[in-house]
Structure 1
């Protein structure tokens, strides 16, 4: 099928063609027609599947005949990087139209004053993170009473990052009568509850291939001692002449340390984490995309919202705490049908966690050994605690503090 068959207007079809989009992806095929018909949509697809275009096209078509200074379409996203990416896509499409819609992008971590100035002329499409949007509402810089279309992008991540309270405050400010498009990579119970609250008789579009990562991504797991991971990373980069590598670590401290060690080894490397200034983060991404940097060492702030064309390799220096985040991390490579490689370092202490990640994603990835870097560490002994969960540290499955106290009290009373 083609974009022509989806019911898009002639100006938007021209815009899509000029921007080089030829064939709609499965999420676009499923979501665009009902969205154009004014129905609510509940879409589930992995990162890199084309979700942005799936809501951007019907959003812009719904606004072509509209005019006004108040925000008429609102797109809520969890991170600055995703806000920028979505805003860039909407702006690129809007600029091709006879009457371009004005697109505004706002997020925290930067001064609010320039954003307030940018909204003075009015905007028809506002892309925002929830916290900064509430700040702007409090400053009377934006009103949400005219929102006709709401989009929640990466809804599961919005909840993961603790935006639930901010999200509820935003929703309370919106008109009850509106169209809502809801996109998520997973359908955890909290996500399903939010969707049930927001949507009215939605058309459900689920194009996840049994929750497995895209088949364009080759996956490897390498056994290595914790202390030798940086040396192995340098070895692999040099041996395979990887031009660019996105490396995921667990903490901002690790991002700084690993990037520094790689620089000392001759690589052009920079850290990327939530405590960097927005200007620094923007510069790092620009340098990485322009291939002025060969390695970016990032926390999970980069696991969603980054769209880096032709990124060949992702390395899990630290395994993700959440099994779902494994998919989002490796989804930074193998995008738009391009081949990609995802490499995970597995130490003796994380083997149980790796097995659980593999089980949850139905992976059959053998644990390799690299000559000269053979693992010497031994796995820690199994816990003797009868209440241990044995989940390998996967987020959301550990006993809470209350659970542990109850178990301790029960054990002491017997």
Structure 2
């Protein structure tokens, strides 16, 4: 088989055979296909799309490029959740311990932040001593004892995707539903959980801006998961405004603790409960009171045990930034716009995020919201506080944040956090 023939076939709008796809993925993973040739193939896919069969085969080939984790010996069902990324999205942090409190094992292999989107691993590393690099043997031990672990994915998990994703990023081929879906699902299927719930973010602060396109992506991913034997469903959630009242690493850990103590912002609690109920239902546990486990300390106990098991101090004082700056309301009214992208970029510019994967982050940097969308404000009220270790970062952060904060004289309609759901097809 010849690489050029595979490129030409997709360029001319033909469906690739299973053999052609397996050959292409294997050739690129083993560095027998050059970046230029793979880029040409990706652009042909970007322009001509892939059928469901092609997408399934592409996904399976990327899974097959590495190892698939097996948690069958843990003595109970396993469940996972994946978010397509947003601003202030700390759902995974309280969710894992909450689900584990009901006897379901939760192996969460998470990522780092890039650009305006925060990363779960960066947030956890703001806890003194917390180790996200856990080998498979230690991971199994933590899951057996505690029931939940949140760690970095190993390099042997769908390694083809790592190479292909990096190439997509620099060739303008990121925005392709089959390539997005196969990238996400190859890693999540290889991660080995029995069931998976997908949080597909929609809105200005999300990768997917349009609800209808997000539904297509969600359906593609749900079908991929179920075709691979992983019970999968998706919830499409609003990301036009930040989740909760904090954006940034240590700030979001602080809010996570509030949620696990029975408090916290209602939008975060609502989604945490929604995903927990779905994960538990997939594991056969339907007659459970999820909110009660947040109120009575069971979820907090699992959180503390997980943090300790991964080397962290659950009672450690969290890092704080050296400087802060308040954004005040300039008139009376209602907070009519609180744009997720504007505030996410502001947090990134303050030092909470990174432009390149190798960049360091400031653990105490970020944004705390004192008012949320729709709330009434008076002139002079603090709307948000910006935090950073370097005062020079305030100006560019404000350049991003201020246009995204708009006061109106009419109160906006109530926000719907859950926009749609996509279930397994019978």
Please confirm whether the aligned pair reaches a TM-score higher than 0.5, indicating the same fold: no
The structure with higher relative contact order (CA 8 Å, sep 6+) is 2
Give the TM-score normalised by the residue count of structure 1. Answer: 0.29
